[in-house]
Structure 1
């Protein structure tokens, strides 16, 4: 999803599937403190009708809708730890998920082959997205989409975005694709087997089974054709993979490692070969005319990956390096490719958000520009880490780790 997909959908699937819990009475959010939910809804109905939503649709969709306290609680929840690559991968690509995905590839081989021929998106990637998004349909989420989006739009923190999503959700209902009572999803409004947000649905959903509805909740032909249509529109390359694990030579220049989520340094495979980069098994990189960027999601001590154009399109689904590598790796494992050569360390201690803030503060005290000490390891913080590492004679992998924190403490 794509999508601003969604800053809100970077959470683990277990979070997305949490039920609506009983919570204390909802207090008015700061941005909406002077407007009740009913007043906001009355104004929104007028806007929706001006956008072509019929009064009958609004009556059906908003019948009994009230703000959902749990939605605002989840939206405002602050993380305590920074997700580590190995923990994320271990939760995302499990033996059980691999085995189930392989079985589903066989079960739906005819349908998936038809979709692949039409849209040029390999079946293994469609099933990998399915596995990562909802565990193959097991965890759609139990929030009423209209209620969740209404809550977030009224809350005001990201009002424009969620009002746009709410309008698209109403268009979906008005088109007859789904009844409001069946329109369930995540707390942030992501829906169905592959967790489309409403704007992705209205822009890319397809009636794959020809019944006149685009049912991404109950029709796998609709699910797979919609997902493939979305990826194809992005420019997915059906004759390429997502990337591969690689080995770096001794003395490698870590300044060539990308810092941004979308790799900012791209070279041809021939150029990477000339720099000494090899496939994970020690063999030469393929002699194909494509470009890739180098990423180190676990730092210099973890695996290195060359990632290609399709990796960038996975990020359009969910703008997370960890998610993109997990989708790619799961897709590979579904067709029998091996585990990563690099192994998880015995000590996988995660950094707490407060420790990231401490790293940022200590870097700032040493004269490195991290911006705000907000506990988020973004490009500005990574650039500051890289500059510090270079000045200290350390591998400049720009990676925030417990070892980096200890080094900064020693220098205080």
Structure 2
């Protein structure tokens, strides 16, 4: 339906660039006044130079010229009306026998405004109407129209008129195409900026989830342990409270770092992003929550790109958090497989699941998959045949190096 209305003369245009929409709120007084003065002065000069063949300018001619340029004042608001109006006044002007001259400029500006506003058929029809009217007057009706004693011009002259018509339409179409290209480029830039903003929001959401989910899980387990042992074993309860204090302090620090990047995007973070060098801290926190973690490294241990290092740490952190929250197993096995160009991760627990969400659900697994996918890697998570749960990820290091540049 929109496609059909775009080709009607009176309907709304299919596409309208922002510069044209903004101009609806103001009238082009300056350009219209300049065109009016130029057309009036140029027509006077043309009338003197064609005095032998054309009728002299009189009040009616001046009014026709003024009407044509006055219509240009609303060319942005009513482009179809202006295209036909300027073509009609020019046709009456030429039919009355007045001199050829800047009257064609009025038609060119009116049709130009219609074409760049999306009313291509209307502009073409107005120009075609003017040319057909000129043919009719110049070769058939000249006997009954002024000036007296007028003769039919050579047909070769019509080729010149046709060339001007084609030039007007071609220039207008070129301007329309350029405007559409500029508008498309602006829309693409706006979409890219929105996409970057969305990606940044997702990144911050992942960071907050990973930090809070892990720390709060440790705090929850230790708080339960402390309450249970508060009377029976005060020293063990004190140890649980110490773990809670350390976990909450670390969580507050990481949350503050994420919020700092949110408040001042583009600035360097105050503290380095966590990586696998902090894996011993993660193991110690899990141990405080009653989970024994075994770490195995295979291959030649190398320095990882920052993007891959952070993603690997967060994936291990989220996997261990899920073991603490959703598994009945009190042991977990972490394997780091260093290979040329990639890092492999595998986190296993023996299970069984303590609820319906084996291995966790919702944002945790989604966040792990997003981290791996952002670096061109893959991740698989699912129940093992023996009832445990496994998270296995592959992170390409080349893509992570480019991501961190």
TM-score under structure 1 normalisation? 0.19
Larger radius of gyration: 2
TM-score under structure 2 normalisation? 0.19
Structure with bigger RCO (C-alpha 8 Å, 6+ apart) = 1
Task: Give 1 or 2: higher helix fraction.
Answer: 2
